[in-house]
Amino acid sequence: MYAFARHVDDAGDEADPRDRPRLLEEVDADLRRLYAGQVPRHPVVRGLAATVRQCAVPAEPFHRLVEAGRRDQAVTRYETFGDLLGYCALSANPVGRIVLHVFGAAGGERVPLSDRVCSALQVVEHCQDVGEDYRRGRVYLPGEDLRRYGCTDDDLAGAVTPGPLRRVVALQVARAARLLDAGAPLLASLDGFARAAVAGYVAGGRATVAALERSGHDVLGVAVRPRRARLAAAWLRALLRRG
């Protein structure tokens, strides 16, 4: 599963821009072959076959990940936070849905709860990577928020994070924290390794939120990453919580 997601990500981000649409279409076509009972051409897609069969993973989440790669070729900015969440529905939420299927836990209210957690993690990652994303020609901070706080592209390109941009980042981090809290009840519905794994995702998100807050939302001057000890403590708290 990870190899597939990595392959799609590389096809949409690392390949020659002229080749990206073709590479993404080849992955999509291979997925159609897989679900039609044919042999996929690429070994990464062939590698999905056993898990897809044994865990009854539907095709849609995989196709959504490919569509996220296509979206990145055509859309480089998002006007509202709602628009950004629409992108997360393609780039992040499918991963959680696939994981739930692998654990045999994709029923009931778990899917919307998982979507909230995955969207939150994606938003937090965008906050960490503001400078890197801008250098790639993409801005994931909502345009309306940037304008509200008086931010320009020069702020995104700088070596330090000016006050207005910090406030924009703080707003997205707060939104992500609320999404994490809204999705955290997913843990109470899981047991065993599934619970431990999902607790790790939630803990990672919360630890990163805390790291961004401690840094004063300075995302250009330093690489904001949670400390291992804090991450471990956050994982333990998430694991012990009942929702």
pTM: 0.90
* Residues 161, 234 within the same domain: yes
21 & 126 share domain? no
Same domain, 100 and 14: no
**pLDDT (tens digit, 9 = 90+) per residue, 193-215?**
899 989 989 999 999 999 999 99
Pairwise CA distance, residues 224 & 129, whole Å: 9
d(CA 32, CA 36): 6
Mean pLDDT across 131-138: 93
Crossing angle of the two packed helices 81-91 and 110-128, in degrees rounded to 10: 110
Measure CA of the first residue to CA of the last residue in the chain; give whole Å. Answer: 27
Both 136 and 26 in one domain: the answer is no
Over residues 232-241, mean pLDDT? 49
Nearest to 140 by CA among 161, 162, 156, 160: 156
Tell me how many degrees the CA angle 27-28-32 measures, rounded to the nearest 5: 115
Q: Do residues 67 and 83 both lie within one domain?
A: no
Q: Is the pLDDT of residue 237 over 80?
A: no
Among 24-28, 38-42, 206-210, 222-226, the range scoring the smallest mean pLDDT is: 222-226
The residue count of the chain comes to: 243
Q: Do residues 84 and 93 make contact, with C-beta atoms less than 8 angstroms apart? A: no
Query: What are the tokens at 34?
Result: 């897989």
pLDDT at 228: 55
Q: pLDDT (tens digit, 9 = 90+) per residue, 165-197?
A: 999 999 999 999 999 999 999 999 999 989 998
Distance CA 9, CA 74 (A): 15
Q: What is the band of 221 on the pLDDT scale with cuts at 50, 70, 90?
A: confident
What three-state secondary structure class fits 214? helix
Range of the domain at 32: 1-74
In a shared domain, residues 83 and 64: no
As a whole number of Å, the CA-based R_g of the chain is 19
Q: Are residues 194 and 106 in the same domain?
A: yes
Tally Cβ neighbours within 10 Å of residue 14.
8
**Which residues pair with residue 224 across a beta bridge?**
none
The residue type at 70:
R
Of the candidates 19, 49, 74, which is a domain's last residue?
74
What DSSP state is assigned to residue 139? B
pLDDT at position 1, please?
85
Q: Say yes or no to pLDDT of 233 above 50.
A: no
Tokens 């949670």 belong to which residue? 226
What interhelical angle do 192-214 and 163-183 show, nearest 10?
160
Total domains in the fold of the chain: 2
Q: 220 and 140 share a domain?
A: yes
Same domain, yes or no: 45 and 103: no
In a shared domain, residues 145 and 243: yes
What's the CA gap between 4 and 34, in Å, rounded?
13
Which residue shows structure tokens 């919580």? 241
